[in-house]
Amino acid sequence: MNRTVRLCVNGTPLALNVPVRTTLADCLRHGAGLTGTHLGCEHGVCGACTVIVDGDAVRSCLMLAIQAEGSSVTTVEGLAPADALSPLQAAFRKHHALQCGFCTPGILTTAHAFLTQEPDADRERIREMLSGNLCRCTGYIPIVEAIYEARAAYRRGTKGDKS
């Protein structure tokens, strides 16, 4: 059985007809063509699939698309204006906070939701927030430093997303 799901994704209203058991991750990747949302474990452990739903970081492999009906969703594609890096993304580049990049969309969306709510977080709090996102190749020190540096943009309200 299919249902039409209406969402606002990265500021754009979408109506996507999907089987009722489709996850939000698959709906975004295959229905909306937003393949920046990655799937690793597909059971809520790795954090690679994290997107922002109505302001909260959510594992899109664990949420059905129909549960997001009427919501505002931000994916990694919505974190920055076209052809530019957001302050958070620029800090990741500066601090070499990624290698293969598979985990990076989920870490960026998680950190974006976090810094929007806690722009004064210290390094310990950032490490705690990152505990739900697995990176198999970079090591966490550059990631923590990048997020720590990006805090200033969130305090100024210049975080750069499209939502």
Tokens found for residue 96: 């070499």
Residue whose CB is less far from ligand FES, 45 or 152: 45
We find the least distance from the C-beta atom of residue 158 to ligand FES, in angstroms, to be 26
Other C-beta atoms within 10 Å of 22: how many? 20
Residue whose CB is less far from ligand FES, 103 or 150: 103
Residue whose CB is less far from ligand FES, 141 or 152: 141
Asked whether 89 and 31 are in contact (CB, 8 A), the reply is no
Q: Is 28 in the site for ligand FES (CB under 6 A)?
A: no
Other C-beta atoms within 10 Å of 82: how many? 6
We find the least distance from the C-beta atom of residue 152 to ligand FES, in angstroms, to be 24
Tokens found for residue 131: 């505990």
We find the least distance from the C-beta atom of residue 39 to ligand FES, in angstroms, to be 5
Q: Is 73 in a helix, a strand, or coil? A: strand
First-to-final CA distance of the chain: 31
Here's the x/- map for ligand FES, 30-69, by CB under 6 A: it reads as ---------xxxx-xxxxxx---------x-x--------
Q: Which of 12, 54, 15, 13 is nearest to 31 (CA)?
A: 15
Site residues (CB under 6 A) for ligand FES, limited to 128-147: 135-138
Site residues (CB under 6 A) for ligand FES, limited to 69-128: 98-104
- Number of chain residues interacting with ligand FES (CB under 6 A): 23
Whole-number Cα distances in Å, 81 to 86, 89, 157: 7, 11, 15
Contacts to ligand FES by CB under 6 A: 39-42, 44-49, 59, 61, 98-104, 135-138
